[in-house]
Structure 1
Amino acid sequence: MLVHGNPTWSFLYRDFIPRLTAAGHRAIALDHLGFGRSDKPDRSELYTIEHHSRRADALLE
């Protein structure tokens, strides 16, 4: 799982993913809510580390 920081977004991994998959690995590039081309809700509480963490956990489940 490839996770970006602030202020980047998952586009950062565009060159990593083909190399990982060519080596036989699976790759998931999570784009946090509000970063890059993801949705940008206007509720600031959705942008906390806690909420980003919960969404990442849900994705992995």
Structure 2
Amino acid sequence: MKRFFAWAGILIIAAVFLALIVLTFTGGPENVILALLFCVIVIPVMLYGYALILKYVRNKNKRDN
């Protein structure tokens, strides 16, 4: 299951990055380019934070039992 979500995340980030590159070179709207740039930065950071929180919660539950 982890492998599926990892591949899904990689594909989503790659699609957003590819869209960012295409829109940048073709002269897309500035708002769309900034939104895609925001997504390229924020999505991996949020996934990393989620992984850290999940790891902390799982370790805390193991210590409580």
Pick the TM interval, shorter chain.
0.3 to 0.5
Q: Which structure has more helix as a fraction of its residues?
A: 2
Name the TM-score, length of structure 2 as normaliser: 0.32
Q: Taking structure 1 as the reference length, what is the TM-score of the superposition? A: 0.33
Max radius of gyration: which structure? 2
